[in-house]
Amino acid sequence: DMPLSWEHLGKPALLIAASRRCGPVYVKSTLWQHHVFAENAAAVAQRRFKLLQIFSDQAILKEAELGRAASNISAIIEDKEEEDPVARCRAVLAKSKNCEPEMDQKLAPGVKIVTLPPSVTGFPHWRRYPEYAVSKADDDRGHADWAIPEGVDNSSPRILYCHGGGYLLYSPQCIYRPATTRLAAASGMPLFAFDYRKVPEFKHPAQLEDALQAYRWIWENGPEGPGRATAVFLAGDSAGGGLALALALRLRDQPIEGCPVSGITVVSPETDLSCSGESYKTRRWLDDGSEHRDPVFRASDPVKASMPAIYGLLGRPDDKDSYPLTEPSISVLHAALHNLPPLQIHVGDAEVMLSDAVNFAEKARKAGSPVELNVWPRMWHTFTLFTEGCGLDLKKLPEEPRKALMQQGEFLRRLARDRNYLDDKKS
């Protein structure tokens, strides 16, 4: 049980601590002493061999332990990533070309789609310029969709939905059916999505005129055909959210008798076409992986990147008959916001248009309008369109998109119940 020691010829000094029964092992180098007998040298050599074998075994053992530790750390990291599906979604969105493949792809169960052509609705029949056409469907635009959950009929409250796309892209049929069917399912109400005219083919106020025509139509026509609505709600996302709010303002100032807006729910609404909110700077994408940056809008200058579509809508400042970026009829943050119907807004804390939603909500509240604002941490632009996990094979889906969608549905159902209660009291 004594510490072991031996001497090396011409080697530098070395001190080694080993956790064995014998305690620390000390190795010292000096010149070989002449009085060491041959048999003692042989014994020392044998001890040296055994000690090196001990260290070798220890090294192999330590290497195996390190390997197991590395595997455990990797497993922990993978588990953490799996536990944080938001981080994985953000990572894949940050690498996506346009985020369309990551959007929801499946229709909500129990909801059927019925498409109506312009010949039935009377809506404008239009086509895209060849340079903006992406499919044959762009030669035949203006179709509308009913998203009809099981068990609804003409007596059910109805939703008029304005889809997003910067007034430039998309239609109810191309990528929006998963979103519209999900909101119809969440609310238990039939939802009507219309294909308003886009830029650059049509400038403002064409989009607002189409929304107004669709609103008049849905009041007189339900999922079962002609029949007056009991209530109509407005909904939309992004530019469509801004269009829904613009329609509500138009109907406040020029009401249709007997056709009030019963409520509005929007996601990531575009309310300020001047793009002057601070989030256009503070939430613009940087490659630092910050969770407060928008992985959907990754332009280095979001304001500059937004202007071509906005000028297509309003006209350039030096164009004849152009509108200012603060035109209140469509850039609704700059309108008077009193006497609005009950309004619910959902927006991500990590999106470029955060200021559009927050500033609109604050101004509307100060004007006395009832507004419910929900800001979702780490969420990106129009995040409710990504309930399926951004195309990833995740064990656990992000909760925020689904929860926000469920809150939209509950908000509309609550307003419908309150309206029915008031109607019953009046009768």
Catalytic, out of 171, 187, 238, 355: 238
pLDDT at 156: 97
Helices 206-220/239-253 angle, 10° precision: 70
> pTM (2 decimals)?
0.81
Contacts of 197 (CB under 8 A, 6+ apart): 124, 126, 141, 142, 206, 207, 210
β-pairing, 25-27 with 14-16?
antiparallel
Catalytic residue among 102, 270, 327, 351: 351
pLDDT confidence of residue 419: 78
User: Active-site residue among 331, 381, 388, 400?
Assistant: 381
Q: What pLDDT score was predicted for residue 9?
A: 34
Indicate if 274 belongs to the active site. no
Q: What is the pLDDT of residue 43?
A: 57
pLDDT at 26: 37
Instruction: Respond yes or no: is residue 351 known to be catalytic.
Output: yes
8 is an active site residue = no
pLDDT along the chain (427 residues), means of 10: 40 34 37 40 55 54 56 50 85 95 97 98 98 95 98 97 98 97 98 98 98 98 98 98 98 97 98 98 89 94 96 94 97 98 98 98 98 98 97 94 98 92 51
CA 113 to chain centre: 24
